[in-house]
Amino acid sequence: MKYAIKTIDLTKKYKDFLAVNGLNLKVDNKSIFGFLGPNGAGKTTTIKMLTCLIQPTSGTAEVAGYDIKKSPNEVRQKIGMVPQLVSLYKDLTARENVELCADYYGMSEDLKDTRIDELLELVDIKYAENKQIGQMSGGQKQKVSVAASLIHRPDILFLDEPTIGLDPTTKRILWDLIEELNENGHTIILCSHDMYEVEKLCDTVGIINQGQLAAFDTPQELKDQAIDQKKRGSGVNSILRELESESTLNKDPSFDELKNVIAKDEIEGKVDSKEISIMMSNLDEKLIDTIRSLPYVLKVTKDHSERITVSIYNVEDSINKLIATIIENNGKITSIHTKDPSLEDVFMAVTSKKNKGVE
Ligand SMILES: Nc1ncnc2c1ncn2[C@@H]1O[C@H](COP(=O)(O)OP(=O)(O)OP(=O)(O)O)[C@@H](O)[C@H]1O
Ligand SMILES: [Mg+2]
């Protein structure tokens, strides 16, 4: 089986509202898939259809090789689910809740006890196994919810924002667990708004917006595409217009030379800009003005008494020249790094594009 999940024009309508709109998505078997999208984009609705909690209005999906409409019982045997809102019995203890799940899947008494012990240890909640859910903290409940979802060793585990509200240590326990499960051959579907979490864990990412798939690729590839788009987006005319509007820049003797470089690079599709964060122990307004007056510098923002962000045309050796200028002016650089597009930038670009003109 190549795909753990394959949706075919999967659609969910609530009255006239299309919560999920003809979704075509393929998730590789044994991968960790990050499912992203703004609030209300349709992630939970999609997951509810894939886990056979609700029926699609039209279209369908194959989960673990089974059709969700034709074989929901087979699908249920293959999947585990940690819902967005913890759904455990408040009056029962942690152990009793996991036991109920084991009974649902018809596990034998012997196997049940050993497996529950293992799972409660695995998610680090064994110490509170006899505590009632109603008396547990959010993070503790989440751990029980994860243990319950794993009782029947599902091939595919759906996690709908599982680390929301967890402290950094508990979050890491869950991340380690996700990686461990995946190494043991489980496919993970992870809904999350935490870009760090997604980059750290996921092999592939899908961004859904207004019920439709807006982007799908590896996190690295999505970021690389954002760099390419930025390059294409910064045409030579807009660059020159901006340069010429700065009267001080026109006085710079190297301006014509720079114009030629930008024009040449534009033909070759190489023009782009970059953000560089620089820390200096002796940063002052004079130095900032000097940097600002450099012809290839677009913008300088002071973030902190010792740090600036410089937006620069990334042409020829403009970054080298910037650093040389700082050193010539006795600037003492203590740290420097470039800011490439992050997954969050990709998310913003992909989801804001589609939102334009709606509402
Ligand atoms: N039972 C329902 N009846 C009517 N509309 C619903 C129902 N469930 C969800 N919706 C609507 O469908 C859209 C998608 O909701 P969904 O819960 O799938 O979003 P989500 O991507 O999971 O968002 P979040 O990041 O906030 O969890 C929303 O506009 C929501 O209001
Ligand atoms: Mg949701």
Chain centroid to CA 202 = 8
Distance CA 181, CA 161 (A): 17
Tens digit of pLDDT per residue, the chain (359 long)? 889 999 999 999 999 999 999 999 999 999 999 999 999 999 999 999 999 999 999 999 999 999 999 999 999 999 999 998 888 999 999 999 999 999 988 888 888 999 999 999 988 999 999 999 999 998 899 999 999 999 988 999 999 999 988 889 889 988 999 999 999 999 999 999 999 999 999 999 999 999 999 999 999 999 888 776 665 555 544 555 555 554 444 445 455 566 565 555 544 545 567 889 999 999 999 999 999 988 888 889 998 889 999 988 876 688 898 999 999 999 999 999 887 778 998 898 888 855 544 33
Alpha-carbon dihedral 14, 194, 216, 221, rounded to 10 degrees: 170
Where is the domain boundary, 217, 236, 264? Answer: 217
Nearest residue (by CA) to ligand 1, atom 12, is: 19
Closest ligand to Cα 12? 1
Task: Among 11, 45, 57, say which to mutate for ligand 1: greatest number of ligand atoms within 8 Å of CB.
Answer: 45
Same domain, 171 and 267: no
> Quick check: is 353 in a domain?
no
> Quick check: is 358 in a domain?
no
pLDDT number for residue 236:
47
Where is the domain boundary, 184, 217, 250? Answer: 217
Task: Among 16, 44, 159, 210, say which to mutate for ligand 1: greatest number of ligand atoms within 8 Å of CB.
Answer: 44
Same domain, 196 and 61: yes
Closest ligand to Cα 208? 1
C-alpha of residue 53 to centroid of ligand 1, in Å: 14
Closest ligand 1 atom to 84 CA: 27
Residue of 203, 205, 209, 201 lying closest to 41 (CA atoms): 209
- Which helix (H) or strand (E) is 6 found in, with range? strand 3-14
pLDDT number for residue 266:
47
pLDDT number for residue 341:
79
C-alpha of residue 262 to centroid of ligand 1, in Å: 47
Instruction: Look up the domain containing 310 and give its range.
Output: 226-344
* 3-state class (DSSP) for residue 135: helix
**Residue 346: CB atoms within 10 Å:** 24
* 3-state class (DSSP) for residue 72: helix
> Quick check: is 351 in a domain?
no
Same domain, 191 and 247: no
Q: How many domains does the chain have?
A: 2
User: For residue 185, what is the domain's CATH number?
Assistant: 3.40.50.300
User: For residue 315, what is the domain's CATH number?
Assistant: 3.30.70.100
Nearest residue (by CA) to ligand 1, atom 10, is: 19
Closest ligand 1 atom to 12 CA: 12
C-alpha of residue 21 to centroid of ligand 1, in Å: 13
For ion ligand 2, residues whose CB falls within 5 Å: 43-44, 84
> Quick check: is 105 in a domain?
yes
Whether residue 177 has its Cβ less than 6 Å from ligand 1 = no
> Quick check: is 252 in a domain?
yes
> Quick check: is 187 in a domain?
yes
Whether residue 43 has its Cβ less than 6 Å from ligand 1 = yes
User: What one-character-per-residue DSSP string does 253-295 give?
Assistant: TTHHHHHHHHHHHHHTT---EEEEEEEETT--HHHHHHHHTST
Whether residue 42 has its Cβ less than 6 Å from ligand 1 = yes
Same domain, 73 and 213: yes
Same domain, 188 and 237: no
C-alpha of residue 14 to centroid of ligand 1, in Å: 9
Same domain, 213 and 88: yes
C-alpha of residue 337 to centroid of ligand 2, in Å: 35
Same domain, 55 and 204: yes
Same domain, 197 and 316: no
* 3-state class (DSSP) for residue 17: strand
pLDDT number for residue 231:
57
Closest ligand to Cα 23? 1
Same domain, 45 and 169: yes
> Quick check: is 107 in a domain?
yes
> Quick check: is 114 in a domain?
yes
Same domain, 41 and 118: yes
| pTM assigned to the model | 0.80
Where is the domain boundary, 217, 244, 275? Answer: 217
Nearest residue (by CA) to ligand 1, atom 2, is: 14
Same domain, 294 and 159: no
Same domain, 301 and 327: yes
Closest ligand 1 atom to 45 CA: 18
C-alpha of residue 60 to centroid of ligand 2, in Å: 20
Cα dihedral sign, 348-353-357-359? negative
